[in-house]
Structure 1
Amino acid sequence: MDISVIIPAYNEEGRIGNVLSVLMGFEMIKEIIVVNDGSVDQTTQEVKKYPVTLIELPFNQGKAAAIKRGLEASSGEWILFLDADLKGLSKEHLISMIEYAKRENIDMVIGTFSKGKFITDLSHKIAPFLSGQRLIRRALLESMPHFEHTRYGIEMMITEYARKMGYQIKKVKWPYVYHIPKEQKRGWIKGKFEKYAMYCNILSTVFEIYFLSRLKRSKKFQKYSS
């Protein structure tokens, strides 16, 4: 089992090192790819301290586009997506995910937060399909249609596609792991704006998946039944 790790990063200086340090010396990890999505801080300099592949995007293109670029550059049989701002991550969390992936007929394992911070725990309890921490068979991702336009809706798009195509999904709890709030990373006003943009991306993806697709199917049905 060989794993390619893809970490999309946008202005994550002071945080991405916490994630990269956990990945060092992990024998099942074939490669680590960080996609710097147009950061204007010291993210690049921090990433260069580690023996990883760094891809620099010239401007911010969104999480989905960064993931797509990382996938194109990767070669692992399995792809591990990790967010760049995780706190509390340990090798034990990764091992728990990998052990499930080794089991027969499991195609995607999603890591969900618990016992960390109230807000992130609650969001993963209500909507675990929004988690960005997931280990996925490469074949699943390569069979997906174009998804780079979804930005922050990428996790929902992958989950819905996997369900639709009959892939087997497993959730595993990651205790004491959480995200740094955007308000803390960017400042209150900019953080709120980025969080609002993120939720708009997610809602747009929900609309595309559950409403536009059903409308298209309905029109096709009317066309062929008339």
Structure 2
Amino acid sequence: MSAGLPSEPVAVVIPAYNEEGTVGDVVRVALTLSSDVVVASDGSVDRTAQVAREAGARVVELTTNGGKGPALYAALRATPAEYVVMLDADLTGLTREHLDLLLRPVLAGELDMSIGVFEGGGFVTDWGNKLTPHLSGQRACRRAWLLGVPGLNAERWPEPAITAHLKASQARWAYVELPQVAQVVKEKKRGFWAGAGARTRMYAQLLTYRARRKKGTP
């Protein structure tokens, strides 16, 4: 670890679905923080798993595409680390310094969870991330706390469940700016119409979280 960060058992966990174009770079940056980097390939049908392995990650391959929640859960179960940094697999502009920004306040005991938000990485991803910062996939916390999130393994998009648990557990959390980091938008990865459809389905799942939880439906 870099100067100023105590030596702690830390893993980086990366849920990934069809992210062969970016996952390798994310893994290589993650390895500058920890040798324990776990990619959970969420039923990917491209070379995501192979690229992640070649970059140096341990890979958990899920046979079906169950969503980010089950993939995150599988990655968490695959490491014994006390602390985890959670990253999306489609990031661009990521550096070791960004990982330190996320992890430092958690290791110092100042926060129970830090949540990364983009700053200056690009208009589209900056705007989307700042509009809904609570949906960010860039986080750091104790692994046991994250495994304790109710319904984590059942949510295709687990961020609302994590937010609810932050409130219920009265955890200390804060947003941390990640300068020059961005994501490859779905419309670019899948084509405009397919990407827009995937985005619509994602937000439908995210926005109906509370109603589904009350009804007890996934």
Common fold by TM > 0.5: yes
**TM-score w.r.t. length of structure 2:** 0.89
**What does 1:1-226 align with in structure 2 at a 5 Å threshold?**
1-26=8-33, 29-152=34-157, 154-208=158-212, 212=214
Following TM superposition, by how much is the alpha carbon of 1:75 offset from its aligned partner in structure 2, in angstroms? 0.8
Does the CA-based 8 Å contact 2:150-2:161 persist in structure 1?
A: no
Letter of the 1:150 counterpart: E
What is the percentage of aligned positions where both structures have the same residue? 37
Could you list the per-position Cα deviations for residues 160-187 of structure 1 after superposition, in whole angstroms to 9, with x for gaps in the alignment?
Answer: 2112211110211001111111111011
In the alignment, structure 1 segments of 5+ residues that lack a partner are: 214-226
Quote the offset at 1:22 in angstroms: 0.9
Cα deviation for residue 144 of structure 1 reads 2.4
Aligned to 2:3: none
Aligned residue type for 1:199 = Y
SS across alignment from 2:56: coil
Structure number with bigger Rg: 1
Compare 187-196 and 54-63 and name the one that shifted more.
187-196
Give SS of 1:44's match: helix
Q: Structure 2 unaligned segments of length 5 or more: list them.
A: 1-7
Deviations, residues 103-128 of structure 1 (Å, cap 9, x unaligned)? 22411011111111222212222221
2: distance between equivalents of 1:165 and 1:30? 30
With over 3 angstroms needed to count, the CA separation of the structure-2 counterparts of 1:192 and 1:165, relative to structure 1, is same
2:113, 2:172 within 8 Å by CA — same for their partners in 1?
yes
Q: What amino acid does structure 2 have at the position aligned with 1:186?
A: R
In structure 2, C-alpha distance between the alignment counterparts of 1:23 and 1:9, rounded to whole Å:
14
Give the total of aligned pairs: 208
State whether residues 3 and 76 of structure 1, in contact with CA within 8 Å, keep that contact through their aligned partners in structure 2. yes
Q: Is the Cα contact below 8 Å between 1:83 and 1:133 reproduced in 2?
A: yes
CA RMSD for the aligned pairs?
1.6
8 Å CA contact 1:140, 1:162 repeated in 2:
no
For residue 115 of structure 2, give the secondary structure of its aligned residue in structure 1: strand
